[in-house]
């Protein structure tokens, strides 16, 4: 999978690149408007991560340009502006998603995979890990072909962990992903624990080959 | 008290005192002049009488001479030598009526004999004159007092009009709204000076305010990226396999502090955005539904904290036109505030009425300072997780939409009331 990252902040570029490489993506970078334009003209990518505040021009023009040259690459806008107007305009111009800075790497990862899934499987979105298989469209999960009953929260947590398998997923990332944006005003994320505990119990009882490990009280990791 | 009435109230008694004193003095002077002339007349009469009696001794037996009344009685020489001219008020009886009069007592020598002479003249006319003078004075000075106050009143009104216009302008002025103050044109140079000084002050305040706003905004914005980079790098570091648990613990605690910093920063940025009016989109928000949606999101967290939530919303839907995201932020902050500052196994009561949202919660059994709780970084409990910005955020949103925000402490409950303007 080929990903183009158009981002002017060198450190952020480096981190995103490192993080995505772990997931097995091939990441190319462009550090300004001109370079970004050149790269989209000459190469094809599976996904483009686009910062819309770029030196040399508005990132939204890159979106327009993509449309003009007839390319239908998946684009995820990453922006520090986090304004509703930008979001609406970006999505109207054909972007697939909008992610406000700062973001968790797990979240970026989840968004990229979601966008790619949409592209490759055309409506049949599944996640597989060991003997665990999740169907995201029907909200069903099976272990060794035997279906398992999870509540919505448990299901969403597992999806998030499976998307970021073998990586540390922080509790705050889970809280925001599963419980919603309002959760960032909460003073602690201890309440996640009881859901994770139930999820672990159900997975173990079903004989799943995946295991959720707590990481330093910071978050969780899904291990196969 | 208004300047207007203040000066009038000071001026009126002073003027009254001066005018009464002046009028009284004038009255007594006039009265004395009249009395003196009465006495002079009596004296003239006495001289006339003495001249007449020298020619006509018959007068000795009579009592009246040219409209005056007199008494003449013989006395000894010794007595006569002791008599001095004495003027005194007297009463005359005429047709059974008592009339005011004046008498002059004197002694005179006639044909070698001595007499005591007492001449009396009626002063009815003079009394009437004095009375008329008094009435005229009262009316005159009364009218004078009133007209002075009247003129003063109208003069004050005209003179101070630009001043009041300036004050109204100042009252209407809201910093950060970008409205310049309206000019007050006046011929009075002091007020023109005040106008200019105020205009300059306002311009300077606006400028400083804008700069401060911009600084907060820029600083928060610029901080966001480095914080995010630190967090992401630490996340990657934590994912390395060869890391030992002790190091991991240190990294985690650094990450926690950074997350707090990031949240604080985000909130500051949000505050700036609200104050800069960067949430222009408004729609009709059903607060009842919103509260319920948020409660669903926060349910697990509240449950974990063992806080009991009661929602009372049978008094009709609360619908208000505002930015939905801001409404959500406001309600979330009010609710999380009520949960975070609660006690163990405490309760939160949410009351929804047609134009009122009230959130009551148990907590520390002591009222908080209602003037301070909505200010930034006010923290009663030294809770590490509380940013001290939640209620400031609520306040900023309330201000933006003209909602009134109130805190009170009743029956061991901390109560925050949000009143939505109707219509």
ipTM: 0.80
Rounded CA-CA distance B144/B149 in Å is 9
The two structure tokens encoding residue B237:
């570091």
Tens-binned pLDDT, residue by residue, of chain A (224 aa)? 889 999 988 988 999 999 999 888 999 999 989 999 999 888 889 899 998 888 888 888 888 888 888 887 889 998 877 666 778 888 888 889 998 887 888 889 989 988 888 776 555 678 888 899 898 888 889 998 899 998 988 999 999 999 888 888 888 889 888 887 777 777 778 888 888 999 999 999 988 899 998 888 888 999 88
pLDDT < 70 stretches in chain B: 66, 176-180, 380-386, 423
Closest B-chain CA to A167 = B239
Q: Is B301 on the interface with A (CB under 8 A)?
A: yes
Closest A-chain CA to B388 = A185
Q: What is the pLDDT of residue A179?
A: 85
Of the candidates B338, B324, B339, which has an alpha carbon nearest to the alpha carbon of residue B293?
A: B324
Closest A-chain CA to B222 = A80
Question: Which residues have C-beta within 8 Å of that of residue A8, sequence separation ≥ 6?
Answer: A31, A32, A51, A53, A54, A55
The CA-to-CA distance between both ends of chain A, in Å, stands at: 23
| In contact, A182 and B328? CB cutoff 8 Å | yes
Residue of A79, A185, A188 to mutate when probing chain B, most B C-beta within 10 A: A185
Q: Cα angle at B352 between B349 and B356, to 5 degrees?
A: 115
Do residue B259 and residue A179 have CB atoms under 8 angstroms apart? Answer: no
Q: Phi and psi of B378, rounded to 5°? A: -85, 120
Q: What is the pLDDT of residue B11?
A: 87
Residue of B237, B238, B255, B273 to mutate when probing chain A, most A C-beta within 10 A: B238
Q: What is the pLDDT of residue B135?
A: 93
Whole-model pTM: value is: 0.64
Do residue A105 and residue B259 have CB atoms under 8 angstroms apart? Answer: no
Q: Cα angle at A58 between A55 and A64, to 5 degrees?
A: 140
Do residue B385 and residue A80 have CB atoms under 8 angstroms apart? Answer: no
């Amino acid at each position: 999978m080929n990903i183009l990252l158009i981002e002017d902040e060198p450190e952020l570029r480096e981190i995103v690149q490192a993080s995505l490489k772990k997931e097995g993506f091939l990441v190319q970078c462009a550090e300004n408007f001109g370079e970004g334009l050149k790269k989209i003209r000459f190469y094809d990518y599976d996904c483009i991560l686009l910062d819309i505040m770029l030196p040399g021009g508005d990132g939204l023009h890159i979106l327009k340009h993509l449309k003009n040259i007839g390319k239908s690459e998946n684009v995820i806008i990453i922006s520090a502006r986090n304004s509703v107007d930008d979001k609406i305009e970006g999505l109207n111009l054909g972007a697939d998603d909008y992610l406000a800075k700062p973001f968790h790497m797990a979240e970026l990862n989840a968004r990229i995979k979601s966008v790619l899934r949409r592209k490759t499987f055309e409506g049949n979105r599944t996640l597989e890990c060991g003997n665990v298989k999740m169907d995201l469209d029907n909200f069903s999960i099976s272990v060794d072909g035997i279906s398992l009953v999870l509540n919505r929260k448990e299901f969403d947590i597992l999806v998030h962990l499976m998307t970021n398998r073998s990586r540390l997923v922080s509790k705050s990332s889970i809280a925001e992903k599963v419980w919603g944006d309002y959760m960032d005003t909460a003073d602690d994320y201890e309440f996640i624990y009881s859901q994770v505990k139930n999820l672990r119990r159900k997975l173990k009882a079903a004989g799943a080959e995946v295991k959720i490990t707590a990481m330093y009280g910071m978050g969780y990791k899904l291990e196969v | 008290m208004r300047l207007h009435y203040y000066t009038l109230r000071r001026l009126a008694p002073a003027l009254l005192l001066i005018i009464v004193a002046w009028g009284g003095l004038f009255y007594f002077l006039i009265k004395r002049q009249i009395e003196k002339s009465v006495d002079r007349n009596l004296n003239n009469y006495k001289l006339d009488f003495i001249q007449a009696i020298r020619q006509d001794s018959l007068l000795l037996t009579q009592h009246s001479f040219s409209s005056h009344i007199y008494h003449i009685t013989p006395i000894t020489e010794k007595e006569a030598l002791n008599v001095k001219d004495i003027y005194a008020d007297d009463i005359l009886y005429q047709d059974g009526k008592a009339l005011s009069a004046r008498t002059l007592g004197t002694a005179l020598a006639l044909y070698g004999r001595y007499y005591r002479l007492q001449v009396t003249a009626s002063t009815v006319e003079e009394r009437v004159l004095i009375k008329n003078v008094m009435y005229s004075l009262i009316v005159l000075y009364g009218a004078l007092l009133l007209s002075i106050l009247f003129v003063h009143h109208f003069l004050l009104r005209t003179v101070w009009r630009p001043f009041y216009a300036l004050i109204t302008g100042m009252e209407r002025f809201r910093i950060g709204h970008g409205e310049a103050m309206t000019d007050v044109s006046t011929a009075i140079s002091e007020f023109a000076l005040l106008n200019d000084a105020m205009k300059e002050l306002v311009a300077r305040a606006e400028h400083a305010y804008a700069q401060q706003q911009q600084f907060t905004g820029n600083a928060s914005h610029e901080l966001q990226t480095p914080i995010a980079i630190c967090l992401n790098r630490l996340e990657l570091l934590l994912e390395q396999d060869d890391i030992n648990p002790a190091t991991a613990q240190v990294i985690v605690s650094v990450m926690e502090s950074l997350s707090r910093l990031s949240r604080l920063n985000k909130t500051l940025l949000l505050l700036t955005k609200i104050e800069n009016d960067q949430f222009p989109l408004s729609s009709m928000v059903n607060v009842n539904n919103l509260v319920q949606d948020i409660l669903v999101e926060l349910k697990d967290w509240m449950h974990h904290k063992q806080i009991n939530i009661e929602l009372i919303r049978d008094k009709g839907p609360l619908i208000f036109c505002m930015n939905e995201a801001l409404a959500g932020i406001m309600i979330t902050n009010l609710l999380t505030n009520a949960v975070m500052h609660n006690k163990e196994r405490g309760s939160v009561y949410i009351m929804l009425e047609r134009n009122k949202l009230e959130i009551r919660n148990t907590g520390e059994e002591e009222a908080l300072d209602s003037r301070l709780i909505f200010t930034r970084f006010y923290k009663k409990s030294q809770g590490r997780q509380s940013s001290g910005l939640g209620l400031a955020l609520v306040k900023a949103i309330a201000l933006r939409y003209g909602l009134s925000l109130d805190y009170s402490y009743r029956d061991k409950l901390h109560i925050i009331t949000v009143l939505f303007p109707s219509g």
